[in-house]
Structure 1
Amino acid sequence: MYELTGVTKQYRRGQGRVDALAGVDLTVREGDRLVIQGPTGGGKSTLLQMLGGLDRPTSGSVVFDGTDLATLSERRLTAVRARTMGFVFQSFNLIPTLTAQENVETALVPLGTRAAERRRRAAEALESVGLGERAGHLPSELSGGQQQRVAIARALVKRPKVLLADEPTGNLDESMRDEIVELLDGLWREHGLTFVMVTHDSAIARRAPRLAILRKGQITLKENHQAAEAL
């Protein structure tokens, strides 16, 4: 699925340079559930952006299904993201003037899906996250947890190979955090996804069968066999 080799990412800061990633090697197998944890500024979100083709490395390769994302044109990269990757972010990123149903449908527009099919699949996706009865509501009429469920439905409606989540519970309280994590785990199993999540939350990290710790741009991998067996 993914093979990262020698991935670096450098940013300019004033007259100096910041190494967000410093030679990361990482393999993510198809069907993996990987959690990335580490301190603020340690490179977690940067690594997720590399996996999602949202940013390019300064050096190294990010091979996804045999293709190095770093070498693709923007047009081809956009097409790969649209077809194969679903994204969930901390801030939900819903369009405030669209209903839950319409927000979910937006993920299918770039794929050229016909309107009737978009409506059907969006309704099914909302049902799968427990929001079938709220399809006609605007984001402002939904709780934070419900908005994140809409965002998850939007990510899954196009039936991606990979689900990438950046602090998906960061704006939620503890009880809602647990609900969203359980939902994501269930959807991962049901759909056979490859699932990569960035989090600062140790309670979430302890549940991960594979854990990547990022500190100062460098990665340490840990296998949690007990968590894997529980899943």
Structure 2
Amino acid sequence: MYELRGVTKQYRRGKETVDALRGIDLTVADGGRLVIQGPTGGGKSTLLQMLGGLDRPTAGSVVLDGVDLATLTEARLTRVRSDKIGIIFQSFNLIPTLTAQENVETALVPLGLKVAERRERAAEALKSVGLGERLSHLPSEMSGGQQQRTAIARALVKNPKVLLADEPTGNLDESTRDEIMDVLEGLWREHGLMFIMVTHDSALARQAPRVATLRKGLISVAEKAVA
């Protein structure tokens, strides 16, 4: 479970202080699904970075399973990210010189697994997202949807508890967007993941049972019926 209390994030912009997040309180239960929406600059990506342990709040606590990510040493925070959190980005963030299988394997390197186990788990993760025939393909040899599926496999190969997605369909056409969301929702249900997604796409938000709206660093959360 995530429990955020009073999470504030301030940045310096020249002589000005920018309040990206202002006293955010938020709880997400194990296995829960949350969509985060809001205008550009409202704090969505900043909040996702806090949840993923990629940045630290100026004030407040970000507690995952009883551990405050905001107070951990960098070494312990890296371990929590490696063990519990998978992250998917809009730009895929694949290494262009590595194959699909090698890209997925990179998520397992911090866990200290043997090479053979890494390869086997990477291959199984790619098969689970429909890319069993693309293990040896480079990113340049795959479509945008296939690249995003590879990024999903990389996020899930370590069997995380939490899956965070920052505009995962933002660079995809409508048809491919629907395919990727079907994959993500299927994996969420199958693995009981906590799934938190930032999106500008109102059609995707309407499908979510719970939607958080961020405006000017302030949050409101609404429970919704799944369409």
TM bucket, shorter chain = over 0.9
Aligned to 1:41: 41
Q: Which residue of 2 aligns with 1:79?
A: 79
Measure how far apart 1:13 and its partner are.
1.1
**AA paired with 1:98?**
L
Return the alpha-carbon distance in structure 1 between the equivalents of residues 47 and 119 of structure 2: 34
Tell me which stretches of 4 or more aligned residues in structure 1 moved more than 2 Å. Answer: none
Q: After TM superposition, list the pairs within 5 Å mapping 1:1-231 onto structure 2.
A: 1-225=1-225, 227=226
Q: Which digits, 9 at most, give the CA deviation of each residue in 1:143-197, with x for residues without a partner?
A: 0010000000000000000000000001101111111111100000001100000
Query: How big is each residue's C-alpha offset from its partner over 1:110-161, in whole Å with a ceiling of 9 and x where there is no partner?
Result: 1011111111111110010000001110000000010000000000000000
Q: Secondary structure at the match of 1:134?
A: coil
Q: Secondary structure at the match of 1:120?
A: helix
Deviations, residues 36-75 of structure 1 (Å, cap 9, x unaligned): 0000000000000000000000101111100111000001
Distance in 1, matches of 2:108 and 2:59, equals 33
Which amino acid letter does the alignment assign opposite residue 181 of structure 2?
V
Q: Structure 1: how far apart are the matches of 2:196 and 2:167?
A: 11
How far residue 14 of structure 1 moved from its aligned partner, in angstroms, is: 1.5
**AA paired with 1:23?**
G
Matched residue pairs, number?
A: 227
Letter in 1 for 2:176: M
> Any idea what SS the aligned residue of 1:195 has?
strand
- How far apart, in 2, do the equivalents of 1:119 and 1:86 lie? 18
Distance 2:175 2:155 in 1: 22
Q: Alignment RMSD, CA only? A: 0.7
TM-score (norm 2): 0.99
**What secondary structure, in the 3-state scheme, does the structure 2 residue paired with 1:107 have?**
coil
The structure whose residues are more often helix, as a share, is 1
Deviation at 1:224, TM superposition (A): 0.8
TM-score of the aligned structures, taking structure 1 as reference length: 0.97
Aligned residue type for 2:99:
T
Task: For 1:52 and 1:153, locate their aligned partners in 2 and report how far apart those are by CA, in whole Å.
Answer: 17
> How far apart, in 2, do the equivalents of 1:67 and 1:82 lie?
15
Partners of 1:17 and 1:174 lie apart in 2 by: 38
Q: Percent identity?
A: 78
Separation of aligned partners in 1, 2:113 and 2:192: 23
Unaligned residue ranges in structure 2 (runs of 5+): none
Task: Name the amino acid aligned to 1:190.
Answer: E
> What SS does the aligned partner of 1:133 have?
coil
- For residues 61 and 154 of structure 2, what CA distance do their matches in structure 1 show? 29
